[in-house]
Each structure stands twice: as C-alpha cells, then as structure tokens.
Copies of this chain bind each other. A is one copy, B any other.
Amino acid sequence: MLSEFSLIDRFFARRATAPSPRHDDEAARPLGIGDDCALIAPPIGHQLAISTDMLVEGRHFFPDVDPYALGHKALAVNLSDIAAMGAAPHAFTLALALPRADEAWLQAFSDGLFALAERHDCALIGGDTTSGPLNICITVFGDVPQGAALRRDAARPGDDIWVSGTLGDARAGLGAIRGEWRAPEGCDWRRALERPEPRVALGIALRGVAHAALDISDGLAGDLMHILKRSGVRAAVDADAVPCSDAVRALPEAARRQCTLAGGDDYELCFTAPVEARAALATIATNVKVPLTRIGTIEPSGAPGIAWRDASGAPLSLTLQGFDHFHAD
C-alpha cells in the first residue's frame, strides 16, 4: 500500500508542470504543487475563468469504466466549461477520493488525465488525495481578455442559434448500454460517452463573434433555457435541424429527439450570434475543424422559452426530460 504522499508524488506531482510565468516582474514567480497554495496570475488585462466539477461513481461513470477514459473525461468536462466562456485553459487542481491505492488504476487514470492536459498546456498546480468512495473533483482555470468572455446573459433578439458538432451520441451510447436500443455496427457511441472533446479552440475563436454561449452538458433543451432565462429572450428552434450522427439519425423519431434535444454529456457548444456573423462562422468552422449548424433564432419578443418546430415549420409539442442529478434517470 502506498502512503498518501508517495502516491501523490508518483502519479501526480512528478508529472505536474510548473504554471507558466505571465508577467515580466521577477517577483511574480508562479508556484505549482508542493506548498499550501499554488500562485498564479492572469496576464495583464485578462480575467481568470474558473469552473469546478465533481464526478461520482455510479452517477457520472460506471464502476467498470476504463480509468484512462475517466481521467480524460474528468478534465474534459471542466475544459468544456472554460471553452464555453471563450477562455484559454491554463491550470487545474485535482482532489481525489480513492477507496484504495490501486497502482495500475492510478497509472491509467493519470495517463488519460495528463494526455488531455498536455494537449491544452494546462498545468496541474495543486490537489488533495484522501481515502473514501471514488470521487474526482477538478477545478480549472483559464485566461480571457477583460470583457471578452462569452456569457449566458448576452443573447439578443434576431440572433441565430448555433450548435457545434453533433448532438445525441453520448445519450445514444448510454441507451445502448442500458439496452434501450442497439448500437449499429461500427458506431462510436461509447467513445462519445467516454471521450468527449472539449471545444477549446472553437470557444477562443468565438470571442468577439458570438453573443451568448454555453456548453451542452445536460441536454440542448435545458441548457439553451439557461441562455434564454438569463438573457430574458425567447427562441424558435427547428428540432429537425439539430445535427446528429448517421447512427443517431437511424433511431426511431422519439428516441432520436430524446437523444439530440435532451441527451446530456455531449459537451458541444451552443451559442447565439448576429446574422452578420454567418460568413465569419463559416471560416471559424473550417479553421477549427468543427462543423457549426444553425438550428434556430432568438425571437423579437416573448417570455423565455423554446418554440420547437419541425423541418416543415410546423409547431412541435415535445415532452423532454433533462438531466437532473436529484431526479431518478
């Protein structure tokens, strides 16, 4: 059995990189793991974007999850929040409760975690390890120029509503695991569920172009409502325009809509932007290699809410259940 300190050192501290210096001032040395606190500062004229997420066994992942995938996902869901603000990831802290110090598990978990962290120049700067039921809590820090963050309260009447990538694969993967439907030959639903890709480059590219933005973690319907409520606006959305993979498209209509409109764990971005930004967004989609799809508009007036339509423009009455940790699934 490894002691707490050798465990932290072996799997995490040795692989932690020092946060990069952001000021010329010699006194502003950043400080990583090993003291009571880490010390960082955003570049001059920037703010620090901060998000925290806690992942619990049986709720956010299955007990038999591949630990490499879990290390990836635990950081990915946090980086997705940073992306949704248009911030650039810089550092993170990791608090970990483990039922036992299983070296093979820790090796794979830390490999998955650091592979993603290194791709995004995101340094582990602090943490805590304890024994207890498996629980992973990551807090992540990003930089964004003052005033440039993509907030939820900035949607305006007349804006287009956009989503990145495709929606519904993660929920479809969960349904296949649960036996609600069968996954078609060769489809990658499990990868969508376990290896979400945070849209970091897209979020940064949307600074100054998009108005409001968030990441879709709990399902499009519920998450879009956060933008609408905070911006005090109403949306009209074409449910059939919501982009999905061929495998999700092949599901029965009710299942497809449940996956695309209310499925959680997608971590694509949903954002609003003025009509004049369409050409700029086409260029951004090409540059960051992520498809962007226009799915609706912010209406000129009306109370916060979503008017769903189908491809023919006919109104749809949908009963969708979003993801809520304190409701039964």
Please give the residue numbers on chain A whose beta carbons come within 8 Å of chain B beta carbons, in ascending order: 1-5, 7, 23, 25-31, 34-42, 44-54, 56-60, 81-82, 84-85, 87, 93-97, 101, 125-133, 135, 137, 139, 141-142, 144, 146-149, 151-153, 213-215, 230, 324-327
Contact = CB atoms under 8 A, between A and B. Distances in A.
Contact of A50 (B42, B126, B130, B131): B126
A93 B48 CA distance: 14
Given A3-B327, A135-B133, A139-B139, A41 B36 contact: no
B48 A40 contact: yes
Contacts of A135: 54, 56, 97, 132-133, 135, 137
B31 A149 contact: yes
A149 B39 contact: yes
Nearest to A77: B128
A291 B216 CA distance: 52
Given A4-B324, A151-B31, A326-B4, A126 B51 contact: yes
13 contacts: A3-B327, A36-B51, A36-B81, A37-B82, A41-B47, A42-B42, A48-B48, A51-B126, A54-B96, A54-B137, A101-B326, A130-B325, A139-B139
Contacts of A141: 50
Contacts of A148: 27
Contacts of A214: 35-36
Given A49-B39, A52-B127, A125-B50, A93 B139 contact: yes
Given A131-B59, A133-B132, A38 B54 contact: no
A48 B139 CA distance: 14
A28 B52 contact: no
Contacts of A126: 50-52
Contacts of A87: 37
A141 B93 CA distance: 12
A17 to B, nearest CB: 16
A130 B48 contact: no
Nearest to A214: B36
Chain A interface mostly helix, strand, loop or mixed? mixed
A95 B1 contact: no
B37 A325 contact: no
Contacts of A52: 93-95, 126-128, 137, 139
Given A41-B46, A52-B95, A53-B95, A28 B81 contact: no
Nearest to A49: B37
Contacts of A85: 35-37, 39
Contacts of A29: 147
Q: Which 5 A-B pairs have the closest CB atoms?
A: A27-B147, A56-B132, A137-B137, A54-B95, A37-B49
Contacts of A34: 152, 230
Given A49-B39, A147-B27, A326 B133 contact: no
Contacts of A142: 37
Contacts of A25: 45, 146-147
A28 B324 contact: no
A302 to B, nearest CB: 22
